[in-house]
Amino acid sequence: MVLPFKENTTFYQPEIWPELSVHLKEQHILVYSESKLHTLGSAILGGGMGSSSYFVNLHVSKDFDSTIPEKSLENSVHEYGYPVKETVGLMTAAYLSFASVQEETNDHFGLFVCTTSGVGNAARAGLDRTVYSSYRSGTINIMIFVQGSMTASAMLEGIMAATEAKAAALQDMSIKDSETNLIATGTTSDAMVIACDPRYYRGIIHQHAGTATVIGNAMGRLVYRSVIESVSSLDLTHRTIE
């Protein structure tokens, strides 16, 4: 198990990545890269494609409800002193101290994954359900850091592989949507980010990252493990209030 903050630790240094550091602050997790990384994701702040050095996972209360969550997150990032235009920002009501990290390296890439999980608002995609016009917190937030270069389409494939792995993890843990009592595929407000450092493994560009590729398979495995670990670390009380 790799739950670096469960025993009151506030700093984690990935073994494979000396230029990357993970910090548990009072109300957020900061992943900081000494160089700008190429990013793609569904983050509230800095989502889409871009480049960033600061990755913030902000804790908010379960009853947080905002029609403009990006503004709330931007204000928090500014308050913490991070450059807004260089920051990717996520929100969650999950317990940050139960964040799971996983890492792996081989001859063609390195991977570091950081996941926080709350499943109190677990939901199954593809069915009619209660919907909201504004942002509601909860969330499984997944950040995937890649040593190496990927095309934009490969990054999208990686997000697909990771999303499938997240859904598989919830299925294997029998996490259910409370509205339908069916197995959940995620929560109502999940987010995911992939960030690539092209300084590593120069000359290798990953064109694909589906589940049958080496890198896509690795992403899926690490995301699966991190979701299993972060959700399993929650007791039943924590699971229901997130």
Query: Which CATH number goes with the domain that contains 40?
Result: 3.60.70
24 lies in some domain: yes
pLDDT (0 to 100) of residue 61: 83
The answer to whether residue 129 sits within a structural domain is yes
- State pLDDT tens for residues 163-190: 999 999 999 999 999 899 999 999 988 9
Per DSSP, which regions of the chain are E strands?
11-12, 20-24, 28-41, 48-59, 65-66, 87-92, 100-105, 110-117, 122-123, 135-136, 140-147, 149-150, 186-187, 191-197, 205-206
- Over range 63-91, report the average pLDDT: 91
H helix intervals, the chain = 69-80, 152-172, 214-232, 236-241
Identify the pLDDT of residue 56.
Answer: 99
H or E stretch including 202?
none
* 3 in any annotated domain: no
Q: Does a structural domain hold residue 54?
A: yes
176 in a structural domain: yes
- The tally of domains found in the chain comes to 1
Q: Is residue 2 part of a domain?
A: no
Average pLDDT (96-124) is 96
Most confident of 52-66, 126-140, 217-231: 217-231
111 within a domain of the structure (yes/no):
yes
Cα distances from 14 to residues 89, 189, 213, 227, 232, in angstroms, run 20, 27, 24, 18, 22
Residue 1 lies in a domain: no
- The boundaries of the domain holding residue 42 are 11-239
Identity at 74, one-letter amino acid code: E
Contact 173, 228 (CB under 8 A): yes
